[in-house]
Every structure is written in C-alpha cells, then in structure tokens.
C-alpha cells in the first residue's frame, strides 16, 4: 500500500515538473510564429495604406480633391509603418529580412514618386491658371479678329484642361498643326499680341510635357512593385507556416510532448481509481465482518434480517454458548477467542453445507458468545422438518470438548428458533421471540433447541 | 437600332458635358466669381473648403493635458536644457515673432549664423514634413535632431534625462502631467503636446467653418486673387502649404546669376538627385505676417516683397500693387485669434 502511495506522489511530482517545462518550450516556439504574424499584419496594413494612397492620388489627378492633405496623411502613415517594420526587423526574425528590406526601399521609392507627383501636379494646375490668364489678356488685346485667333486660343485652353465636351481628343499631329496655324495668324498682328501668343504656346507645350511626365509618374505609382512584393512575402510566410505544420519535426515534437503528458495523466487517473476502489471494498468488508471470527457482524445481520422479513419466509436460530464464561475466565481470553473461532467455523460450515434446494442459511455473530443463523427462502413443504433436523444438527455439532490440554472443559449451545412471518413482521419482535425460545432451552437444561411456536 | 444608338450617344454626351462643366466650375475657369461684400453665400464657402481644411477650436482639454502642455512650455523655455545653458527652444522660436526669430538666419549656440532662415513652428503639427528641405517627417525626429545637434542644444538624451531627474521641480511637474518617469519619450511627448497646442484657429478658419462675417470684403478679394492667380496650386490644405515640395523658380530661374550656394540647391542636398534641384518644402502661410524675413535665404525682407517675388517667379505674372495689398490683407486674416 505504501509503495503505491509513493508511486502516486512521484507521478504528481513528475507532472508538476514536466508541464511547466513543456509550456515554456512551446511558448518560446510560439513566440517566433507570433512575431511573423505581427509582420504579416503590418504588411497587410502597408498594402491598405498603399491602396489609400493610390486612391488619393487618383482623386487629386481627376481634380476631385483639390489639396494634398490626404496624400500627405497616407504618406506619413506609410512612413510610420515602415518605421515599425524596421524596428521589428531589428529583432531578428527567421523570414528573410533581405526581402523586407527591399520592401522598405521600395516604399521609399514610392514616397519619392508621390513627391514628384505632387510637385508636377501643382505645376500643372498653376500652368492651367496661367494659360487661362494669358487667354484673357489675348482677348483684351485683339479688337478685330479675322483669323478667329480667339477661337483657336480657346481650343488650346480646352485642351490644357483636357475638358472635351464631345470626347474628341486631338492627336499630337493635329495639335502641332493647330499651334503652327495659331503662330502664323499671330504673326499678322501687333508685336504685343505676338509675344503674348508665343508665351501662350511655349507654356502650353510646357504643360503638355508636364502632363506626359505626370502620366509616367502615375504609371510608376500603379505599376509599383511594392504591393506584389508584399503579397509575395505574405504568401511565403503562409507557406512557411504550412510547411512547418505539415512537414516539420516541430509538430511531431509537440504531439509527442502532448501525448506523453496526456498518457501520464490518464495512467494517473486509472491507478488512482483502482486504488480508491480497493480501499473502499476493504473498508466495506471491515464494516460488515466481525474481526475475530470473520463472520458477518450484528449491523450487517440486522440489515439482512429486515430484508428477509420483508421479502420472504424464513427462520431465525438464536445460538448462545453454554459454559463459555468459565472457559474465558479460567483459561484466558486467547483460549476463549480460539473457542469462539472454532464455533464460528463450525456454524459457518454447517450453514454452507445445507442443500440450497431446501433453504439457504447464513451465520452471524451478534457479539460476545451469541451467534445467529438466518434461514431464507424456506420451502412450505417439509420445511419445518428439515429445520428441526438442522437445529438438532447445530446442537450436536457444537457440543464438544476442548482440545488436548483442556479436555475437561466442554462446550455446548442453547438454540431458540423463531419463524417469520409467523412470529412477527419486524426485526425486534422476531429477535425477541428467538431470544425467548433460546432462554427456554437454557432453562430446559441447555444443549437443546426450542421452537418459539411450541412454547 | 439607329435610334437606340442615338439615344446612347446623347446620354453619353450629356454626361460628359455635365462632368466637364462641373470640373470647370470647381476650377473657377468661368472667371466670374461675383462675391457681394459681407454677403458670401455658403456655396462659395463650400468652394473654398475644397482647397482649405479649417482648424477647429479645441475647448475641452482635460487637466492632465493642460498640465502636459504647461510642462512642455516650461521645457520649451528652459535654457538649462542646452549644453551651454544659454539656449532654449524659445531662443529661436519667439512667441512675438510667430514662433520664428525675426532674424535672417538662425544662430548657432556660439552666435554664428546657420544656413537657413528659422521657420515658424506654430502650426508645425499640421505639416507633413519639417525644415526647409522637409528632412524630417515627424516632430519627434526633428526634436531628436535639435537636442543632439552639436551646433544647437548639444545634449545627449541620457545626460538630459539624468539632469531632469535630479531636479525636484521637474520631478513634480512630470508626476502631475501623468508621466510615470522622465525619459526621452515623456520629454518629447510634453514638448510636442505644447507645440500642438500652439495651432489655434484664425479668423479664416472661423470663416471656413461658416461665420461669413469674419472676413472683410478686401480679404475675400485677396482670397479670390489667391485662388485665381494660382497661389492655391501649392498653398492649399489645412496649413496652406506644408504638404509638398516645389521648385523655387518654376516660371523663371530664381538663382541665375547668384553664386549657387549649397543651401540654394534645396532638396538636392539630401537626395543628390538632379530632379530635386532647387526643390523646397512649400511653407505654411499661417501666421505668415509675423514670421518675416521670408524664404529660406531671407531674400525678401517684407511680406509685399515676398508676394511680388512669388508672383513673378512662381506664377509668371507681374503682380499689380492692388493684388499684392489684397493678398496681404488676406494673409493677415490667417493670424491666430487668441
């Protein structure tokens, strides 16, 4: 028993030691994957900000937004995100940091491109206003207009704002022709007008080149590699994690750790359960049996008797030892105990030797030198006869001399028999009847049996 | 079949027409903005708000925030933060001069002139980047630079925090402001909170927020000249600038015959890219009346001169005296209202 308790203690100790260690190990392993997850989220946010930036650029290109605050905010956001990424990179993570560094570089180049866009866009909108102003001046200068110069200037203004009502965008050749025509007509006018129109044409060509520049910048923004790069890196992160989970030794190791812990726990519970079950059965036995004679004791007997009275017919043999007191007093307790044991053995073997087709019997020790045999399931026919035989058998078996050194002492029993339900339907009355019958036997000179019904 | 095609064409054309006219209207190409004095309609305010974003007044600050701002101000004005105990942030950013210094060039701690004119920091919280070249993206970076620069405060952050930790008054002030300890972050956080608290709305902001009586007719006229002549293409947004870089001398070369100094190369100094030659950050025009002399090299002593230079070199227009005056009066409306 003690060794088992020790075993449980050691298992508990081992579990208490192994669990925190395993937890620490797993925590460290998970920490790195958490960091990659953080980077993943950061990259996602970068993509988001980049999309916003593109949206703001498009808005300001199509004149839906007339200031660059939104663009500036997005740029700043992107800048701060890159700062964060840089800080994370410093912590040394197993995804190839070279690629992340290239993302950083690309974001810097994107910032540069956006700066160019803002500068170019501001110049364009300023030039558009300037051209409009020049056109107004031309209109003021020219009084008679045989060559429709004002009309042509207006066309150029429309071109500069890209505001075609009928969707007819002129090709480059057409534009050049128009400009040439305008210059030719202008040469017919005064010098002032000529200068003004020349200025207009120069600025217009400047505007066209700026617009081309803007378009190339926009192309750079749209076809920027950063997003693809980031998506590629995110894909790789996911792939890595999948690889780690599906093929790596990591998972196996985790599984083994988990499984061993689990098995230990299960074993612990099983052993514990068995241990408890055994203990319970031992305690049950102890509470039901008499310690000295190994017969059932008074408590179990009372319980059993009540059950029998309620369910079936039967009889109660109340057995009291004659002359036990002398033996006990004169020869000592250990001899008395031996005697009790031998009587109990005899009664027990008698009870077991009965043919179960007649009835079943069980011996109990009530306490001191009082024994009881409870008989169940008595058959109607011939039952009383066999019961009488049994009682006689009990009396004759239990009448004996002690073993060798004390052969002058002899022992006998007085038996009282009560039947139920004839002599009572509860425990007290049946016991009482059997007791009375037993006393009658004692009065009758001991070593005999008496049926209560015959009194 | 033909009918359907015609229908589609007419719908297409009308949509195009609508789009283009709205685009022109937004641009102000019609050139006829009839603004009755003192009676500006809300629609035209909407038009202005397309270019500018107003600063809303901040009223309900918590006591902790107020304490932080007060702490930031104390740090801002404390000369003991510098290495030679003579310089504070307020040495170059003087309240009366609109948080610039009124001198042509900033001065080092030894009294020597630095390369550039001191920019105002009053509305720097709304700038996308700081300094004339836009070298710094955040106020934190800028502060790091100013504190550790050997020609300015010349301090080490560790050294500075240790000094403040030994000071009992500062310890108390930092505790009151809700900082658990004195560190680089808490110091710069307090100073930045103070800098942010300086950005208070002007009459122009109240005008944009809907109070049309804030601007006089002269100022509104200035605003319209500002928009139609093209200043607006760079000076826009919350801060009327501060969110892009632009070439100094778009229409005419501003640095033709002068000996090209290093500072005149502009953003090129940082990127070494030929496209970035003479590119400078477009400064904010808020509180501009107080922050003269103007430009990175202080080449314009007065605001009128600055406006004139801007008109001729950036817009290619010879400005009339009337326009200059009206724009100047508009710029006066950008002074913060206490």
**pLDDT value for B166:** 92
Task: Quote the minimal CA–CA distance from B58 to chain A in Å.
Answer: 20
**Inter-chain touch B228–A118, beta carbons under 8 Å:** no
Q: What are phi and psi of B129, to 5 degrees?
A: -145, 165
Burial (0-12, 13-18, 19+ Cβ within 10 Å), A311: exposed
DSSP state of B172: H
Which of the residues A63, A69, A156, A199 would you substitute to probe the B interface, choosing the one with the greatest number of B C-beta atoms within 10 Å? Answer: A69
Residues of A in contact with B312 (CB under 8 A): none
HEC readout, chain A: CHHHHHHHHHHHHHHHHHHHHHHHHHHHHHHHHHHHHHHHHHHHHHHHHHHHHHHHHHHHHCCCCCCCHHHHHHHHHHHHHHHHHHHHHCCCCCCCHHHHHHHHHHHHHHHHHHHHHHHHHHHHHHHHHHHHHHHHHHHHHCCCCCCCHHHHHHHHHHHHHCCCCCCCCCCHHHHHHHHHHHHHHHCCCCHHHHHHHHHHHHHHHHHHHHHHHHHHHHHHHHCCHHHHHHHHHHHHHHHHHHHHHHCCHHHHHHHHHHHHHHHHHHHHHHHHHHHHHHHHHHHHHHHHECCCCCCECHHHHHHHHHHHHHHCCEEEEEEEEECHHHHHHHHCHHHHHHHHHHHHHHHHHHHHHCCCCCCEEEEEEEECCEEEEEEECCCCCCHHHHHHHHHHHHHHHCCEECCHHHCCCEEEEEEEEEEECCCCCCHHHHHHHHHHHHHHHHHCCCCCEEEHHHC
| CB B44, CB B34: distance < 8 Å | no
Q: Is the pLDDT of residue B18 over 60?
A: no
What mean pLDDT do residues B137-158 have? Answer: 91
Q: What is the pLDDT of residues B217-234, one digit of tens each?
A: 999 999 999 999 999 999
Q: In whole angstroms, give the CA distance from residue B296 to residue B134.
A: 12
Locate A139 and state its tokens: 């209109």
**Inter-chain touch B315–A126, beta carbons under 8 Å:** yes
Locate B231 and state its tokens: 């200043």
Residues of B in contact with A165 (CB under 8 A): 13, 16-17, 20
Residues in CB range of A1: below 8 A, 6 or more apart: none
Tell me the sheet residues that pair with A319. A371, A415
| Greatest mean pLDDT among A98-102, A119-123, B1-5, B82-86 | A119-123
**CA proximity to A192, closest of A253, A265, A146, A143:** A143
- Top-level class of domain B2-57+203-332: mainly alpha
Its ipTM equals: 0.83
Angle at alpha carbon of residue B241, lines to B240 and B242, rounded to 5°: 135
Q: In whole angstroms, give the CA distance from residue A130 to residue B292.
A: 28
Q: Is the pLDDT of residue B25 over 50?
A: no
Q: Report in angstroms the alpha-carbon separations of B96 from A319, B93, B107, B299, B331.
A: 123, 9, 18, 21, 17
Given CB atoms, is A75 within the 8 Å cutoff of chain B?
Answer: yes
Residues of A in contact with B138 (CB under 8 A): 76, 79-80
| CB B79, CB B86: distance < 8 Å | yes
Q: What is the pLDDT of residues A254-268, one digit of tens each?
A: 788 889 889 989 999
Q: What is the pTM of this model?
A: 0.68
Given CB atoms, is B23 within the 8 Å cutoff of chain A?
Answer: yes
Closest residue on chain B to A70 (Cα)? B237
Q: Spell B36-67 as b/e; 16+ CB within 10 A means b.
A: eeeebeeebbebbbbbbbbbeeeeeeeeebeb
Task: Quote the minimal CA–CA distance from A199 to chain B in Å.
Answer: 10
Residues of A in contact with B275 (CB under 8 A): 116
Q: Where in chain B is the domain with CATH 1.10.760.10?
A: 2-57+203-332, 63-197
**Inter-chain touch B230–A129, beta carbons under 8 Å:** yes
At A400, the pLDDT band (50, 70, 90 cuts) reads confident
Cis-peptide into A263, omega within 30 deg: no
Q: Is the pLDDT of residue B20 over 60?
A: no
Q: What are phi and psi of B123, to 5 degrees?
A: -110, 25
3-state secondary structure at position B158: helix
Q: Is the pLDDT of residue A114 over 90?
A: yes
3-state secondary structure at position B280: strand
Q: In whole angstroms, give the CA distance from residue A306 to residue A367.
A: 18
Matching residue, tokens 């990127």:
B271
Which of the residues A82, A108, A126, A217 would you substitute to probe the B interface, choosing the one with the greatest number of B C-beta atoms within 10 Å? Answer: A126
Given CB atoms, is B46 within the 8 Å cutoff of chain A?
Answer: no
Burial (0-12, 13-18, 19+ Cβ within 10 Å), B252: exposed
Q: Report in angstroms the alpha-carbon separations of A228 from A215, A225, A369.
A: 21, 5, 100
**CA proximity to B284, closest of B233, B332, B223, B236:** B236
- Closest partner residue to A163 among B12, B24, B128, by Cβ? B24
Query: Which secondary-structure segment (H or E) carries B245?
Result: strand B245-247
B 156-215 residues inside an 8 A Cβ radius of A: none
| CB A309, CB A425: distance < 8 Å | yes
**CA proximity to B205, closest of B238, B244, B242, B241:** B238
Q: Is the pLDDT of residue B111 over 60?
A: yes
Which of the residues A66, A79, A109, A124 would you substitute to probe the B interface, choosing the one with the greatest number of B C-beta atoms within 10 Å? Answer: A66
**pLDDT value for B32:** 40
Given CB atoms, is A164 within the 8 Å cutoff of chain B?
Answer: yes
**pLDDT value for B232:** 92
At B94, the pLDDT band (50, 70, 90 cuts) reads very high
Q: What is the CATH number of domain B63-197?
A: 1.10.760.10
- Closest partner residue to A122 among B27, B31, B244, by Cβ? B244
What mean pLDDT do residues A400-409 have? Answer: 80
3-state secondary structure at position B73: helix
Tell me the sheet residues that pair with A419. A315
Closest residue on chain B to A109 (Cα)? B271
Q: What is the pLDDT of residues A3-12, one digit of tens each?
A: 777 877 887 8
Which of the residues B10, B47, B55, B137 would you substitute to probe the A interface, choosing the one with the greatest number of A C-beta atoms within 10 Å? Answer: B137
Q: Is the pLDDT of residue B11 over 70?
A: no
Q: What is the pLDDT of residues A45-84, one digit of tens each?
A: 999 999 999 999 999 888 888 889 999 999 999 999 999 8
| Greatest mean pLDDT among A186-195, A227-236, B67-76, B253-262 | B67-76
Which of the residues A129, A162, A204 would you substitute to probe the B interface, choosing the one with the greatest number of B C-beta atoms within 10 Å? Answer: A129
**Inter-chain touch B243–A67, beta carbons under 8 Å:** yes
Matching residue, tokens 């000249």:
B225
Q: What is the pLDDT of residues A180-237, one digit of tens each?
A: 888 888 777 788 888 888 888 899 888 888 888 888 998 888 888 888 888 888 888 8
Q: What is the pLDDT of residues A366-397, one digit of tens each?
A: 888 889 998 887 766 677 788 888 888 888 88
**Inter-chain touch B246–A67, beta carbons under 8 Å:** no
Q: Report in angstroms the alpha-carbon separations of B84 from A86, B87, B88, B142, B147.
A: 35, 7, 10, 20, 12
Task: Quote the minimal CA–CA distance from A130 to chain B in Å.
Answer: 7
3-state secondary structure at position B223: helix
Given CB atoms, is A195 within the 8 Å cutoff of chain B?
Answer: no
3-state secondary structure at position B233: helix
Q: In whole angstroms, give the CA distance from residue B242 to residue B240.
A: 7
Q: What is the pLDDT of residues A290-340, one digit of tens each?
A: 888 888 888 888 888 888 888 888 888 899 888 888 888 888 888 888 888
* C-alpha torsion angle, residues B126, B130, B132, B133 (rounded to 10): -120
Percent of chain A whose pLDDT exceeds 90: 16
Query: Which secondary-structure segment (H or E) carries B238?
Result: none
Residues of B in contact with A72 (CB under 8 A): 128, 237, 243-244
- Closest partner residue to B23 among A63, A115, A130, by Cβ? A63
**Inter-chain touch A161–B27, beta carbons under 8 Å:** yes
**pLDDT value for A1:** 61
Given CB atoms, is B117 within the 8 Å cutoff of chain A?
Answer: no
Given CB atoms, is A136 within the 8 Å cutoff of chain B?
Answer: yes
**Inter-chain touch A161–B24, beta carbons under 8 Å:** yes
Percent of chain B whose pLDDT exceeds 90: 55
Number of A–B residue contacts, CB under 8 Å: 103
**pLDDT value for A231:** 87
**Inter-chain touch A132–B31, beta carbons under 8 Å:** yes
Which of the residues A59, A71, A108, A115 would you substitute to probe the B interface, choosing the one with the greatest number of B C-beta atoms within 10 Å? Answer: A115
Residues of B in contact with A164 (CB under 8 A): 16, 20
Residues of B in contact with A213 (CB under 8 A): none
**pLDDT value for B7:** 56
| Greatest mean pLDDT among A185-189, B28-32, B163-167 | B163-167
Locate B71 and state its tokens: 């702490």
What mean pLDDT do residues B240-246 have? Answer: 92
**Inter-chain touch A119–B245, beta carbons under 8 Å:** yes
Locate B287 and state its tokens: 């509180």
Residues of B in contact with A167 (CB under 8 A): 12-13, 16
Q: Is the pLDDT of residue A96 over 80?
A: no
**Better pLDDT: A450 or B32:** A450
Cis-peptide into A421, omega within 30 deg: yes
- Closest partner residue to A133 among B17, B238, B317, by Cβ? B317
How far the first Cα of chain A sits from its last, in Å, is 55
Q: How far, in whole angstroms, is CA B315 from its chain's centroid?
A: 20
Q: What are phi and psi of A419, to 5 degrees?
A: -100, 145
């Amino acid at each position: 028993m003690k060794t088992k308790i020790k075993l449980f203690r050691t298992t508990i100790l081992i579990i208490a030691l192994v669990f925190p260690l395993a937890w620490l190990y797993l925590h460290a392993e998970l920490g790195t994957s958490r960091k990659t997850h953080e980077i993943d989220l950061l990259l996602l946010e970068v993509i988001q900000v980049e999309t916003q930036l593109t949206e703001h650029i498009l808005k300001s290109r199509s004149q839906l937004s007339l200031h660059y605050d939104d663009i500036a905010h997005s740029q700043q956001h992107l800048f701060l995100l890159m700062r964060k990424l840089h800080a994370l990179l410093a912590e040394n993570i197993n995804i190839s940091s070279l690629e992340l560094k290239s993302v950083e570089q690309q974001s810097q180049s994107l910032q540069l491109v956006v700066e160019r866009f803002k500068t170019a866009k501001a110049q364009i909108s300023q030039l558009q206003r300037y051209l409009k102003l020049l056109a107004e001046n031309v209109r003021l200068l020219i009084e008679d207009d045989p060559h429709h110069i004002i009309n042509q200037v207006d066309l150029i203004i429309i071109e500069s704002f890209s505001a075609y009502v009928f969707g007819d965008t002129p090709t480059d050749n057409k534009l050049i022709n128009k400009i040439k025509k305008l210059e030719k007509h202008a040469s017919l006018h005064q010098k002032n007008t000529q200068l003004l129109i020349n200025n207009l044409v120069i600025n217009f060509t400047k505007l066209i080149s700026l617009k081309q520049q803007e378009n190339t910048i926009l192309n750079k923004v749209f076809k920027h590699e950063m997003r693809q790069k980031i998506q590629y890196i995110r894909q790789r992160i996911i792939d890595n994690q999948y690889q780690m989970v599906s093929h790596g030794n990591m998972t196996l190791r985790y599984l083994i750790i988990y499984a061993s812990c689990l098995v230990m726990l299960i074993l612990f519970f099983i052993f514990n359960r068995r241990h408890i079950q055994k203990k319970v059965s031992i305690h049950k036995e102890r509470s039901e049996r008499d310690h000295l004679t190994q017969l059932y004791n008074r408590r179990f007997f009372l319980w059993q008797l009540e059950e029998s009275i309620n369910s079936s017919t039967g009889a109660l043999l109340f057995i009291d030892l004659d002359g036990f007191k002398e033996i006990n007093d004169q020869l000592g307790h250990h001899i008395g105990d031996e005697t009790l044991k031998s009587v109990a053995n005899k009664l027990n073997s008698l009870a077991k030797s009965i043919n179960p087709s007649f009835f079943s019997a069980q011996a109990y020790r009530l306490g001191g030198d009082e024994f009881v045999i409870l008989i169940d399931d008595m058959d109607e026919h011939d039952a009383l006869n066999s019961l009488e035989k049994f009682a006689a058998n009990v009396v004759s078996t239990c009448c004996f001399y002690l073993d060798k050194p004390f052969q002058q002492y002899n022992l006998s029993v007085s038996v009282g028999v009560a039947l139920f339900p004839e002599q009572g339907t509860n425990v007290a009355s049946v016991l009482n009847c059997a007791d009375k019958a037993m006393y009658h036997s004692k009065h009758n000179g001991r070593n005999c049996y008496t049926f209560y019904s015959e009194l | 079949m033909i009918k359907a095609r015609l229908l589609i064409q007419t719908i297409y054309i009308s949509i195009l027409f609508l789009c283009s006219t709205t685009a022109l209207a937004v641009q102000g190409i019609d050139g006829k903005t009839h603004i009755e004095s003192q009676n500006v309609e809300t629609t035209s305010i909407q038009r202005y708000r397309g270019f500018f974003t107003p600063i809303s007044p901040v009223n309900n600050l918590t006591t902790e925030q107020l304490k932080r701002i007060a702490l930031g101000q104390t740090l801002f004005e404390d000369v003991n933060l510098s290495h030679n105990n003579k310089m504070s942030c307020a040495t170059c950013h003087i309240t009366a001069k609109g948080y610039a210094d009124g001198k042509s060039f900033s001065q080092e701690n030894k009294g020597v002139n630095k390369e550039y004119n001191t920019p105002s920091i009053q509305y720097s919280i709304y700038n996308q980047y700081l300094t004339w070249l836009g070298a710094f993206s955040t106020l934190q970076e800028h502060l790091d630079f100013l504190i550790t620069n050997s020609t300015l405060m010349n301090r080490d952050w560790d050294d500075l925090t240790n000094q403040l930790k030994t000071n009992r008054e500062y310890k108390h002030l930092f505790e009151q402001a809700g900082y658990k300890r004195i560190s680089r972050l808490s110091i710069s956080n307090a100073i930045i909170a103070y800098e942010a608290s300086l950005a208070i709305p002007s009459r122009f902001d109240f005008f944009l927020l809907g109070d049309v009586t804030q601007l006089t007719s002269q100022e509104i006229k200035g605003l319209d000249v500002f928009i139609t002549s093209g200043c607006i293409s760079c000076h826009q947004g919350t801060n009327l600038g501060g969110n892009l870089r632009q070439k100094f001398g778009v229409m005419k070369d501003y640095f033709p015959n002068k000996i090209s100094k290093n500072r005149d190369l502009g953003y090129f100094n940082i990127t070494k890219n030929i496209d970035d030659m003479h590119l400078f950050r477009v400064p904010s025009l808020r509180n501009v009346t107080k922050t003269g002399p103007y430009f990175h090299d202080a080449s314009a002593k007065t605001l009128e001169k600055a406006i004139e230079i801007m008109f001729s070199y950036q817009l290619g227009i010879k400005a009339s005296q009337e326009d200059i005056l009206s724009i100047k009066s508009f710029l006066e409306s950008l002074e913060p209202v206490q």
